[in-house]
Each structure stands twice: as structure tokens, then as C-alpha cells.
Amino acid sequence: MSEMECVMEIPEDAFNPVEPFLRMDRMPHIWCAGCGIGTTVNCFVRALLNSKADLDKVAIVSGIGCTGRVAGYAQMDSFHTTHGRAIPFATGLKLANPELQVVVYSGDGDLFAIGGNHFIHAARRNMDLKVICVNNMIYAMTGGQSAPTTPGHATTSTAPYGVFEPAFNLVSLAEAAGASYVARWTTYHVMQLARSMEEIFKKKGFCFIEVLSPCPTLYQRRNKMGDGLEAMKYYKKASKIRHGAPTSECALTKDGEIVVGKFVDRDRPDYLELLRSQMVESLGERYAEPEMACEDAEVTCSL
Amino acid sequence: MQSLSEIRIAGFGGQGVILAAMVVGKAGAIHQGGYATMTQSFGPEARGGSSSAQVILSNEPILYPYVTQPDVLVVMSQEAYTRFTPELKHGGTLIIEQDLVRLGQVPAGVRVFGVPATRLAEELGRKVVLNIVMVGFFGAVTRLLDPDALRKAVADSVPPALQKLNLQAFDKGFEYGTLRISQSGESGDAESIIPTLESVP
Amino acid sequence: MHADPKGVLTGVHFLDGDHACCEGTLAAGARFSAGYPITPSTEVVERFASRIPTVGGIFIQMEDELAASIAIQGAVWGGAKAFTVTSGPGYSLMMEHIGYAAMTETPCVFVNVQRGGPSTGLPTLPAQADMMQARWGSHGDYGIVALCPSSPQECFDLTIEAFNLSEEFRVPVMMMLDECVGHMTEKVVIPKAEEIEITPRRFTKEPPEKFHVYEPKENQVPEMVQAGAGYRFHITGLTHDERGYPNMNIDAQDRLVRRLQDKLKPLANGRGLCETENLEDAEVVVVSYGITARVAQRALQLARRRGIRAGKFRLITAWPFPLERIRELAGRVKAFVVPELNLGQMVYEVERAAAGQAAVLSVTHAGGGVHDPEAILNAIVEAARL
């Protein structure tokens, strides 16, 4: 009852600091009760607040899936693209308009099954993209099918007798492919997650954060892992913070230890720096800095 | 009235067959103010041994883009000679790199001109310009194009550093062709300018 | 607005269709291209990769055609004019993103240098067998524009037109080359920049608080905006309302999808490009496009010489199809002859337009070469006897 009283004390005109960052005219959102995606969005907003980002210069790109809907709720230039292709869309956006902070916000199925090839190539190029992957270990939007992240022995609607395919270790994959920054948190680690997000906003190059997040409706329920709260308890109990841990030792299992922390933070020249230095080396003064924005009719007339 | 000439140039990959065709086409279309369409064979066969390109020259817009029966066939390899000679038009002109092609049964009514283009190119110190020697020779013996137009086309088809060498190659081929034509007399007695089998190494 | 001289290689050149197309993209103001190598289209991006660093832009070779066809759309929303180039299997892979461009009304250009298919087919030889795929290849109902050049000169000219139309109507525009036109080298005249007309992107003048990203404006086309300009807009491939917000009901779907097709009506009715000859007295009309139109022209000359009143209708804008013009002709000619490098594609549109008023003869070719003009002539002769 004390919880209830607490809620009642909030005045009607109370201001939620998250509001200016969200498209409040689109609320309520579509995510289930106990889903962790909203928690990650809160962390994202907190990171934007703390880093005093100019929201006019932040663009968010999502693919398809539950996490793919984040772009639709973010009050900034936001792109809900096709399944798996958030990263190549973001690549074009960033190259055409390098002053943008381009964040890719999508799910594990979107980024690592259908979009896996794009992920490794963007990491290889060290494209200046900030990739946040909400990993709920399942295809949730389509009703609970196996993902390349579903751990062995878990059951899904397409693996009713248990998953036997080995799963991707996303942080190890990201590091091997060349990411400049790699971290993993769970939706229990809200402070750490927000801080990691803040860090990647300041870092140049391809940055990757994996966030373990419960899907109570499909993954938890089917695997008898309880509700969202049970997931938090599990995350709290099973997580070990080990900054700098070798990512190869950080694979996830169905109910084993979850190694979290910042694993990789290295400086490599990003794609645009590499492009520029190669062109200057080959072309010297003939190289023309990219001027990508096409002109506006009115602007041209007034000149 | 449309006056149209079909030309095929063929040889090994690496002999500069395509560039030779490019020069001929450019001369016709740009420097002489007529029309020219150049096509080339693509595909696996163009990556390996053989290479072939076709040029159509005309005083009117060219509709059908491919050569069906060449008026002029320029060959720089035995394989190209064997493959393409049968399609040469009756009364057409066959131009061979005489050190690389051994003549067999030449179709009746075909005029044959031979040039030791590789040797002439080597005299200039660079074997690679044999294609431009061939173009010069082609220009002299066919007279299909204004020599100045061809020369200009050579000049603007090669990198500036190689311009002088290529123009020398063109002139060398052209002079060789002019000499052969004058030796064969006004009548253009073809027999006298076919290299004898003995001359083929 | 005139072309930016930085991208215009003014002069008289001897170029193949692929290279001329690349010069067209630069003259049109394209400063971003993403591509993936595939024969016989690669020369377009090879030239772009070589030219663009001195013009001021970026070429990126992506990991596949899916990536290339969406990266260009990211670049467009970032403010650039952008295009991709492909052929055969690569075009099949791009289909989903042609639909995305149509749905999100992203102005961009897809160059398809058609080769023989299906599947890997004939990588180095011509066909015109992607004409229906260009129109209908992505799922759902939408509209696109497709232009068919017949020469390297047109590869240059029509590529500029493709960019202009994509900006005016906010649709993906298909440049439908074929291997023959793409690899054929001819004289290409590139005019001075001030002689090249460019349709500028129609950026909104509304302030952000009044702006709706999909509010239909002039000719049912919404106004453009670019990321980073303070509009904080939302783009989605889901059925959406004027704010760009997902709105998945029958009314929203009907309004949106009908508009995506209807906005192209001016191009179907009169503004589409075509080349006609001897239609006044024609009893037989040859409808053709691309390289086949040139081959057909030779057949037409032979037919006229035989005293057959044959006329020419060359489709330059193949999509939207000029249904009304063909229907009008159908009322006064005996027959249409439709040669194409496929087993019958655009001929169905001609039949639909003719609606039984005139006979329609298809002259098919499975691809790998061009028609023998005699085959087209025979069809003209047969049609004249009807």
C-alpha cells in the first residue's frame, strides 16, 4: 500500500525529464509490461541529457522488430528502415552528413541474423556509428522464434524441442570485426548502461553496446523463467562486472553467469579519417573535400 | 546515301586491341565529324587469351550496333585470323601482323596487307605500341579516315607521357603502309603485298 | 537551376554507355554512390570511384546489393543526391529497397544494366527482361519511373532526367540500360554546366512546428527535409500518416498507397518521353525501347522501302506506360509490332492499351544478342497483311 500512496503523491503537472526526448503524441508505446526495451530507452535519454547532446544533430536508425520501434518514439530525426538494414542506411546517412551523431538502435535478430553481414563490415570499416543492440535472445515481434543469440537448450516456437545451434557471442564478434568500443550490460545495470552510452557518444568510430533485456511474453514465459521482475533478479544474481575481460570468455548461456562491463575501448582511425588520408596521399591537392548536401532552389536563386 | 564501313580488330589480350578500336572510332566520330559505334567482346573469353573489338564508321547515325560482315579485318594473332577471316566481306580488306599470322587459304577477292608491327614497335623501344603501329598502317592502306583525324585520336587516347611514343608508332605504321601501297602500284595489286610464307618466322 | 560545374565534364567524348551514365550522375549533382560489383554494370561505379574524390563526394563499395540500395537512401535523407548501380541478380536483391524508397518517397536513382537471366544467366550479354521487375518487383502497390536509353548519349542525358524526375515526384527512378547500350562506345557531347537543367530538391519552407513530413503538397508530392536541420522528423516503411507516424488501418493505407501511384499520373498522361516517326499515316506501329529501338529502326527503313506504311513509337519513359497515347493510336492503326529482348513483357502493356482495337504482334528474343532486323521486318510485313 505504501507504493500506492507514493504514486498518488505525484502532482498532475509533474514533469518527466524524459518527455522532451520522446514523441509523447505516440504514447502509449507498444512494448509489453516487464519488457526491458523501455528501460534501455530511459538510459539512452539519460545519456543524451548528461552529454548535453544537441538533439537536432542526433539521428536514430532502427531496423525491424520490437527494438526497431525505438526510432519511432525518439523525438529526433528517426528512421525506421527495413529488416536488417539499419546499419547500411546509417552508413549512408553518416557519410552524407558527418556532423550527425548517428545511433543504430535495434534488436539481436535484426542486427545479427538478417543484418549480420552489415554489422561486421561496418565494424571492419570503423564507421562512426553507435550501435545499441537490445538482446532479448528471441524474435519477439513475430512471436518467439529462434535467433542467432538464443542460447542452447532454450525452447522457441521454431525450436520446440530446444535450441541446439551454437549462439553468437556478440561482444566477441564485435571485437573480432574491429569495433572501437564494446560493452555489455543488462537492463538491471541502468546506471552503468547510461554511462556506457554517454561514453560512446563521445567516442569516434564503431561502438557497440549489447544490452541483455527480458522478453517476459515470449522468451521468459516459454522457458519458465518468470516475469520481468524474475529476470531482474536473475540478472542481478548472475552478472559479474569484469571490465576488460577477454570477450572470447564472455559467451552467454541459458542460465549461467553473465559477464558484463566494458571489454574494448581502443582508438582506431574511423572510416572518414581513413578515406581522407588515403585520398590526400594519392591525389594531393586534387582531392576535394566531400560537399554532399544538394542545393535548394531558393538558396541558389538568392545567390 | 549512307556509306558505312564495318571494321573488326582482333588479337591477343594485352596487345591493345580495344585501344586500337577506340582510336579508330574516336577519329571517325569526333575528329572527322561522322558517326562511329565501337563494341567489344566481353566475358570470360575477353579476360583470357583473345580479344576482339568492332567499329562501325558511317556518315549517318548508326542503328544496328554490331558488325556482321566486316569490310576491314585487322588481326594480330593466328587464332583471330582463323576465327574471323571467314566472315570478311567479299572484296574486303585483311590486315595482318605478318610476323604473328601465317596466311592460309585467303577467301577470293580479299585484299591482304601485312605489316611487321611488333618489330616496328620494338624499333621504337616499346613493343606495347604495336597496336598503334597497326592503326597507322590501317589508316594508310584503307584510307577510310583522314590521317590527321586518326593522329589526333591517337594523341588524345593515351596518357600525356606516352603521347610522343604513340605518335611515332602511328607515323611508323602509316609510313610503312604508304610505302607498301606505292610499291604495289596504282592498281593496288594485292598479290605483291601479301607476305610470302618464307617471310614468316 | 543549373548544374554545378564541378561535376560536369564539358566536351566531346567517345564513351561507352556505362561511363556516360556515370557522367550523367555527376552532372545531375549526385555526390554519393554505394555499389557492389556486378557485370555488366560495374564500369559506372568504377568511373564514379575514380572521379568523385576530385569532385567532392563519396563512393563506398558495400558488402552486398541490399546494403548498397539502402545506404543511398540514408545518404538522401542526410541531404545528398545518391544512386546505385546493378544488374541481374543484384537487381533482384535490391527489390525490397525499391519498395522502401517508394514507400518513404525517397528520391534516388537505380541504374540497371540489363543482362540475360534468370539467375546468373548471361552476365556479359544483353537482355531487356527486367522491365516488369522494374515496375512490379517489390511487394505491394507503388509507382516508379523507368527510362530506357538507346545510346551512350542518352545514357548521359536521361540519367540527368532520372535525377530530375526523382526529385520532382519523389520516387525511385530506374535507368534501364541493357548490356549492349552500356558497353557500346559512341560520341557523347556533354554541354556546359549552365546549359544543363537540374531540378533542385524541394526542401520545405515550413518551420519545424508546422511541418508534416508526408503532407501532400504540390501535385500530391510532400516536401523534402534533411536530417540535422532541426525538424526531428520520422520516416518508416510502415503505412504511415502525414506526420510519418505508423498508422495501420484501411483508411490510412488507402490514402497513402493510392497517392504513391496517383502522383505519377502527369508522367503517364503526356509528360512521358517518347520518340515517334511517321505515325500520321501509319498502318503498323513498331513499339520498342532501348537497343531494340535502333535495330527496329533498320527494319522500319526496310519496310518503308517496300511501301509499307510503318511508324515508330520508341518508349523512352517505359514506366509509367503511355497507356492513353497507345490507346489513341490503336483506334487508327491495323497493328502494333513489339520487339523486345525478352519473351514478351512490355507487349502486355501494349495489348492492354490496344484493348482489342488493333492487333499486337510480339517479336521475342531470349537475350544474349539483339534481334536480326529481318525478324522485325517479317513481323511488320505480316502485320501489314492483316
Rounded to a whole number of angstroms, the distance from the CA of C199 to the nearest CA of chain A is: 8
Closest by CA position to A192, among listed A208, A175, A211: A211
Which residue positions in chain C have pLDDT lower than 70? none
**C183 and chain B in contact, CB less than 8 A:** yes
Q: Where are the domains of chain A?
A: 18-302
Probe site for chain C from B38, B63, B145 (most C CB atoms < 10 A) = B63
Given an 8 Å threshold on Cβ–Cβ distance, is A294 in contact with C64?
Answer: no
Given an 8 Å threshold on Cβ–Cβ distance, is A92 in contact with C73?
Answer: yes
Classify residue A166 by burial, with Cβ atoms within 10 Å: 0-12, 13-18, 19+: exposed
* A238-242, A274-278, C218-222, range with the lowest pLDDT: C218-222
Closest by CA position to C27, among listed C47, C11, C10: C10
Strand order through the sheet with B50-58: B111-115, B93-97, B72-75, B4-12, B50-58, B35-40, C185-190, C11-16
On whether ipTM exceeds 0.95, the answer is yes
pLDDT at A128 over 70: yes
- Total domains in chain B come to 1
* C-alpha cell of residue C117: 537471366
Rounded to a whole number of angstroms, the distance from the CA of C351 to the nearest CA of chain A is: 36
Note whether residue B201 is domain-resident.
no
Note whether residue B147 is domain-resident.
yes
Rounded to a whole number of angstroms, the distance from the CA of A230 to the nearest CA of chain C is: 33
Q: What pLDDT score was predicted for residue A6?
A: 52
Q: What pLDDT score was predicted for residue A55?
A: 95
Q: Which of A85, A297, A298 sits opposite C66 (nearest CB)?
A: A85
Q: Distance (Å, rounded) from C-alpha A298 to C-alpha C328?
A: 40
Residue C333: CB partners within 8 Å, gap ≥ 6?
C282, C283, C284, C285, C311, C358
Q: What pLDDT score was predicted for residue B171?
A: 98
Q: Domains, chain C, ranges and CATH?
A: 5-195 (3.40.50.970), 208-263 (no CATH), 274-385 (3.40.50.920)
CATH of A18-302, one of 3.40.50.720, 3.75.10.10, 3.40.50.970, 3.40.50.10860: 3.40.50.970
CB atoms within 10 A of CB C69: 32
Q: What pLDDT score was predicted for residue B13?
A: 85
Angle among Cα B136, B141, B146 to the nearest 5 degrees reads 65
Classify residue C194 by burial, with Cβ atoms within 10 Å: 0-12, 13-18, 19+: exposed
Q: Looking at C202-342, which runs of residues are DSSP E strands?
A: 234-236, 274-277, 284-288, 310-315, 317-319, 335-339
Q: Looking at A39-177, which runs of residues are DSSP E strands?
A: 58-62, 77-80, 101-107, 130-135
Given an 8 Å threshold on Cβ–Cβ distance, is A300 in contact with C1?
Answer: yes
Probe site for chain C from A19, A79, A286, A294 (most C CB atoms < 10 A) = A294
Given an 8 Å threshold on Cβ–Cβ distance, is A294 in contact with C54?
Answer: no
| Residue C214 identity | Y
pLDDT at A13 over 90: no
Given an 8 Å threshold on Cβ–Cβ distance, is C58 in contact with A290?
Answer: yes
Residue for grid cell 521486318: C377
Classify residue B128 by burial, with Cβ atoms within 10 Å: 0-12, 13-18, 19+: middle
Q: Mean pLDDT across chain A, nearest whole number?
A: 94
Q: What pLDDT score was predicted for residue C173?
A: 98
Which residue positions in chain B have pLDDT lower than 70? 1, 42-48, 185-201
Residue for grid cell 539481436: A108
Torsion of the alpha carbons at C89, C92, C98 and C99, rounded to the nearest 10? -170
Compute the average pLDDT of residues A292-301: 60
**A124 and chain C in contact, CB less than 8 A:** no
Q: Collect all residues of chain A within an 8 Å Cβ-Cβ radius of residue C55.
A: 288
Q: What pLDDT score was predicted for residue A116?
A: 98
Query: Chain B 47-66, CB below 8 Å of chain C: which residues?
Result: 62-66
Q: What pLDDT score was predicted for residue A14?
A: 83
Probe site for chain C from B26, B41, B42, B66 (most C CB atoms < 10 A) = B42
- Which domain covers residue B80, as residue numbers? 4-193
Given an 8 Å threshold on Cβ–Cβ distance, is B42 in contact with C370?
Answer: no
Given an 8 Å threshold on Cβ–Cβ distance, is A294 in contact with C63?
Answer: no
Given an 8 Å threshold on Cβ–Cβ distance, is B29 in contact with C187?
Answer: yes
Q: Decide if C54 contacts A290 (C-beta within 8 A).
A: no
Rounded to a whole number of angstroms, the distance from the CA of C298 to the nearest CA of chain A is: 42
Closest by CA position to C252, among listed C262, C264, C239: C239
Report the CATH number that the domain containing residue B73 is assigned in CATH.
3.40.920.10
**Residue B50, φ and ψ in degrees, nearest 5:** -105, 160
CB atoms within 10 A of CB B192: 11
Q: Which of C183, C186, C298 sits opposite B40 (nearest CB)?
A: C183
| Residue A23 identity | R
Closest by CA position to C157, among listed C316, C322, C370: C316
Q: Distance (Å, rounded) from C-alpha B116 to C-alpha B99?
A: 6
Note whether residue B121 is domain-resident.
yes
Closest by CA position to C41, among listed C238, C145, C175: C175
State the DSSP H helix or E strand holding residue B114, giving kind and residue range, or none if neither. Answer: strand B111-115
B to C CB pairs, distance under 8 Å: 61
Left if phi > 0, otherwise alpha if psi is -120 to 50, otherwise beta: which for A141? alpha
Q: Collect all residues of chain C within an 8 Å Cβ-Cβ radius of residue A26.
A: 245
Q: Decide if C188 contacts C18 (C-beta within 8 A).
A: no
CB atoms within 10 A of CB A288: 15
Chain centre distance of CA C262: 18
Query: Chain A 214-243, CB below 8 Å of chain C: which residues?
Result: none
Compute the average pLDDT of residues A259-271: 98
Q: Looking at chain A, which runs of residues are DSSP E strands?
A: 58-62, 77-80, 101-107, 130-135, 181-186, 207-212, 239-241, 258-265
**C381 and chain A in contact, CB less than 8 A:** no
Q: Distance (Å, rounded) from C-alpha A16 to C-alpha A37?
A: 18
Query: Chain A 14-73, CB below 8 Å of chain C: which residues?
Result: 23, 25-26, 55-57, 59, 61, 71-72
Q: Distance (Å, rounded) from C-alpha B49 to C-alpha A73?
A: 60
Q: What pLDDT score was predicted for residue A7?
A: 57
**pTM for the whole structure:** 0.95
Q: Distance (Å, rounded) from C-alpha B45 to C-alpha B53?
A: 13
Q: What pLDDT score was predicted for residue B106?
A: 82
Q: Decide if C13 contacts C187 (C-beta within 8 A).
A: yes
Q: Decide if C61 contacts A71 (C-beta within 8 A).
A: no
Q: Collect all residues of chain C within an 8 Å Cβ-Cβ radius of residue A56.
A: 228-230, 232
Q: Distance (Å, rounded) from C-alpha C219 to C-alpha B31?
A: 46
Q: Collect all residues of chain A within an 8 Å Cβ-Cβ radius of residue C231.
A: 77
Cα-only R_g, chain A: 20
**A296 and chain C in contact, CB less than 8 A:** yes
pLDDT at A141 over 70: yes
| Residue C348 identity | Y
Rounded to a whole number of angstroms, the distance from the CA of A26 to the nearest CA of chain C is: 8
* C-alpha cell of residue A72: 519511432
Q: What pLDDT score was predicted for residue B186?
A: 47
Q: What pLDDT score was predicted for residue A15?
A: 84
Note whether residue B119 is domain-resident.
yes
Q: Which of B25, B35, B44 sits opposite C185 (nearest CB)?
A: B25
Probe site for chain C from B23, B40, B57, B64 (most C CB atoms < 10 A) = B64
Per DSSP, the three-state class of A80 is strand
Q: Decide if B60 contacts B71 (C-beta within 8 A).
A: no
pLDDT at A299 over 90: no
Q: Distance (Å, rounded) from C-alpha C75 to C-alpha C68?
A: 11
Q: Decide if C35 contacts C83 (C-beta within 8 A).
A: no
**C297 and chain B in contact, CB less than 8 A:** yes
Give 3-state DSSP helix, strand, coil % of chain A, rounded to 5: 45, 15, 40
